[in-house]
Chain A
């Protein structure tokens, strides 16, 4: 035995060999992944709630069908990710319990309200756009089941972003009221979207280990900068503006400089004091509790039929 298990593990990671469920792995790798994948799954599931608000009030049948398809995808993404987390030895019910008790977190962005129809477009373009930047590198993450789930997610996510932009594009060419609605939605979602990438690198203690294990491949600040560069260009097509007076192209760095993020706000939202934290959790718990009789009935039905066979 020349080298220990932990060194062997790191060698596999360094050689880009994927880790599969039955392989030996450090406990901390397992726990980091359980936390990250389950929070990701929770985010997909809670992420259905702000959009669900607009299903019955979509402006046309076409938009309603699109919104329903998008929300159904998000349910699917949650399921892919829960399955991936389960391969690490946590049960589905345990994960639900962690979400409903408030022990597990989900993306801070879903604690903001969806006040107008334009928010549906802004969520698709900005929130899903930010999510995609995070998710694309995760298709190459070191844990096999997570990477495979992310490939499926990314394939479907691109429609979410495109429909969002297109929906805002329609508003941006509409009446004065529609244009204003479009601009206000962008103003509301811009800063919370920048916060979605997480705290700045020097305050993100887990990043170094996650990068070494190739769970993460880019740091929070790198991805955030990429997002700003991307959106600052795309918004020109909408003829709208971003609510940041400090946003400016920097010839030296060849990047956009941008203003200071209100980290206190992110902290408050994560701690449960965002505008909709309570509403979201109440909705989740209600769905779970109201569904109990269905779960029990299905179990009873299956048990009865397996006896008859």
Chain B
């Protein structure tokens, strides 16, 4: 698999045609700070959830900016930041092949099994 990726955008991690990174190869981004994705745990017991992205020169600055941009109103108690280029995603063109097999295995779902009504607690 050949990958030629110049720059990464949130939600755009593949190498397909007509994605954001194919849109305009001549852009000037030489001095731009790298892009980071921000994940926030809103309260104890819940998963970290993607909330958006931001630019920062390094991880320390990304953490400070994430705090200022995404948690001004008690939105979180824990922040993860990941440089966008480190996120890999499936190609949406392959989504059918990738996710379809689950659909024909209906016996994986409890509703597949017909059981007598008098059976309780199951």
Binding site for B on A (CB under 8 A): 20-25, 30, 69, 72-73, 76, 79-80, 83, 86-94, 97, 144-145, 148-149, 152, 156, 295-296, 298-299, 301-302, 305-306
User: In the bound complex, do residue B14 and residue A91 qualify as a contact, i.e. CB atoms below 8 Å apart?
Assistant: no
Q: How far is the CA of A10 from the CA of B91 in the complex (A)?
A: 21
Q: Using known A-B contacts A295-B33, A298-B57, determine if residue A86 contacts B24 with beta carbons closer than 8 Å.
A: no
Residue of A nearest to B23 (CB): A89
Chain B residues near A88 (CB-CB < 8 A): 20, 23
- Select one of B32, B68, B89 contacting A93, CB under 8 A: B32
Mark each residue of chain B from 57 to 97: 1 if its CB lies under 8 Å from any CB of chain A, else 0: 11001000000110011000000000000000101100000
User: In the bound complex, do residue A92 and residue B55 qualify as a contact, i.e. CB atoms below 8 Å apart?
Assistant: yes
Q: How far is the CA of A23 from the CA of B11 in the complex (A)?
A: 10
CB distance from A49 to the nearest CB of B (A): 19
Q: Using known A-B contacts A20-B11, A23-B92, A76-B69, determine if residue A83 contacts B57 with beta carbons closer than 8 Å.
A: no
Q: How far is the CA of A145 from the CA of B27 in the complex (A)?
A: 21
Total A-B Cβ pairs within 8 A: 102
What are 13 A-B contacts with C-beta separation under 8 Å? A21-B9, A21-B12, A22-B20, A22-B89, A23-B92, A76-B69, A83-B54, A87-B20, A88-B20, A89-B24, A90-B23, A94-B29, A298-B57
User: In the bound complex, do residue B12 and residue A87 qualify as a contact, i.e. CB atoms below 8 Å apart?
Assistant: yes
Q: Is B22 an interface residue (CB 8 A)?
A: yes
The size of the chain B interface, using a CB distance under 8 A, is: 35
Q: How far is the CA of A296 from the CA of B32 in the complex (A)?
A: 9
Given A76-B68, A76-B72: 10 more A-B contacts, CB < 8 Å:
A22-B14, A24-B18, A80-B52, A86-B9, A87-B9, A89-B21, A94-B29, A152-B52, A156-B73, A301-B57
Is chain B's interface secondary structure helix, strand, loop, or mixed overall? loop
Chain A residues near B92 (CB-CB < 8 A): 20, 22-23
Q: How far is the CA of A298 from the CA of B89 in the complex (A)?
A: 29
- Select one of A83, A89, A149, A298 contacting B61, CB under 8 A: A298
Most buried by B among A86, A149, A299: A86
Q: Is B31 an interface residue (CB 8 A)?
A: yes
User: In the bound complex, do residue A21 and residue B11 qualify as a contact, i.e. CB atoms below 8 Å apart?
Assistant: yes
Residue of A nearest to B55 (CB): A92
CB distance from A288 to the nearest CB of B (A): 12
